[in-house]
Amino acid sequence: MKNAVIAVGPSAARPVPGVQRRVFLGGVAAAAATMAMPAGAAARLSPAARARLAFDAFVRAYWVEEKAYFRRHKEKGKPLDFWFSAHAWDMLIDADRLFRTARTKAMVRRFYDAFMRRHPDWRKNEFNDDILWWTIACTNAFVHTRERRYLQQARSLFDHLAAREIDSTLGGGIWWKSSEHKSKNACANFPAVITACNLNVLTHERTYLDTAHSLYDWGREKFFDAKTGAVYDNVDLKGRLTRWDFTYNVGTFIGSALRLHRATRAKKFIDDAMLAARHFMTALSRNGIVRPCGKGDGGAFHGVGFRYMAELARRSTDPEVRAYIMRNAESAWTSRRASDDLVGEDWTRQPREDFDVEGQVANSALTAIILAARLK
């Protein structure tokens, strides 16, 4: 992922519909099944029904059936970028877990196969975090489908990165880019922890857990503010910290801590996760709803963050995190655009009709809505 340039924090800001849609019946798009639904009726739908309608709208807008990919722009253009595609695939896996239709099952498989045809050698991507988003998704896909090719891909790529991109410069951590070792970033470090922990569980090889501990300890020291729960962005070769504060870095820190807690049962990891979550729910939110993070790379951040917040909600006895996820999913659902049911950057207001809702932006909101339905 390229460096984001959007500041997120207390000063960040960026600028109730009826519904008309086609629905997927039994996983098949039924063109004849078009209906108008009053806003009040839409509001009374269950979280799972909302997730289904939001998913259908996303597919209508971005899915290219013959090529099995999601576009970056509605009804036109090229596929989602490399790292955006990893999160769209993770969303598809979650959708199949929730809906369990023949169509979603096929989409999971076809999406991966099509991506592999476009990108047969992921090692050519210089952004290590881009590869790591895919290794995480591959481990998720293996758990969901039990197809060993996904696990083999995740393991091969992670082993490649661990051998070449993790070193003792700056005391540890993984480089952001393989082409130039100029910074080590949270967006690569904590996804590497998550992948390593997942591989430890799936292969029972201790070396992955040892790597996860080493990366987490280093990343916690470099990026984590133990007073506020913030997770900062990167450190350069002179040790200078860039204090960009993004939901996806907080989210992957939470995901890392949860996995190490599962492996060790050490309370300190849950404490870290909860402190980071409180920062997510306060400093990165306004009136209980996550703040907008723009288009481009920023458009994918919230989907990542909410994925790991949802994991925390399933693991924690504190009801606050669950309530936050449900409240944000509700706000996103009620802020969808009347004409196409897409949610934009701001989960508190409907996008303008002339606004280009990019695929990764809509995917973040859809991910939150699906995860909330799975929690319910």
pLDDT in tens, 185-234: 999 999 999 999 999 999 999 999 999 999 999 999 999 999 999 999 99
Counted domains in the chain: 1
Q: Which two tokens stand for residue 99?
A: 């809906």
Judged against a pLDDT cut of 70, whether residue 352 lies above it is answered with yes
pLDDT band at 38 (very low <50, low <70, confident <90, very high): low
| Mean pLDDT along residues 34-51 | 72
pTM strictly above 0.75: yes
Q: What is the pLDDT of residues 240-253, one digit of tens each?
A: 999 999 999 999 99
Output 40 or 276, whichever has higher pLDDT: 276
Q: What is the pLDDT of residues 316-337, one digit of tens each?
A: 989 999 999 999 999 999 999 9
pLDDT score of 198? 98
pLDDT band at 25 (very low <50, low <70, confident <90, very high): very low
Helix axes 186-203, 148-165, angle to 10 degrees: 130
Judged against a pLDDT cut of 70, whether residue 371 lies above it is answered with yes
298 part of a folded domain:
yes
pLDDT score of 75? 85
CA distance 141 to 145: 6
Helix axes 47-62, 82-99, angle to 10 degrees: 140
- Nearest 5°: the CA angle 183, 310, 64 is 75
Q: Which of 202, 205, 315 is CA-nearest to residue 255? A: 315
Judged against a pLDDT cut of 90, whether residue 7 lies above it is answered with no
Q: Which two tokens stand for residue 366?
A: 């859809």
Judged against a pLDDT cut of 60, whether residue 18 lies above it is answered with no
124 part of a folded domain:
yes
13 part of a folded domain:
no
3 part of a folded domain:
no
Domain of 327, in residue numbers:
45-375
12 part of a folded domain:
no
35 part of a folded domain:
no
CA distance 101 to 97: 9
pLDDT score of 42? 64
Output 49 or 42, whichever has higher pLDDT: 49
pLDDT band at 349 (very low <50, low <70, confident <90, very high): very high
20: β partners: 36
Judged against a pLDDT cut of 70, whether residue 43 lies above it is answered with no
pLDDT band at 24 (very low <50, low <70, confident <90, very high): very low
Q: Are 209 and 160 in contact (CB under 8 A)?
A: no
Q: What is the pLDDT of residues 69-112, one digit of tens each?
A: 999 999 888 999 999 999 999 999 999 999 999 999 999 999 99
Q: Name 253's Cβ contacts closer than 8 Å, sequence gap at least 6.
A: 186, 190, 219, 220, 223, 224, 231, 272, 273, 276
105 part of a folded domain:
yes
CATH number at 325 reads 1.50.10.20
Count Cβ atoms below 10 Å from residue 100 Cβ, excluding itself.
10
348 part of a folded domain:
yes
pLDDT band at 1 (very low <50, low <70, confident <90, very high): low
Q: What is the pLDDT of residues 131-183, one digit of tens each?
A: 999 999 999 999 999 999 999 999 999 999 999 999 999 999 999 999 999 99
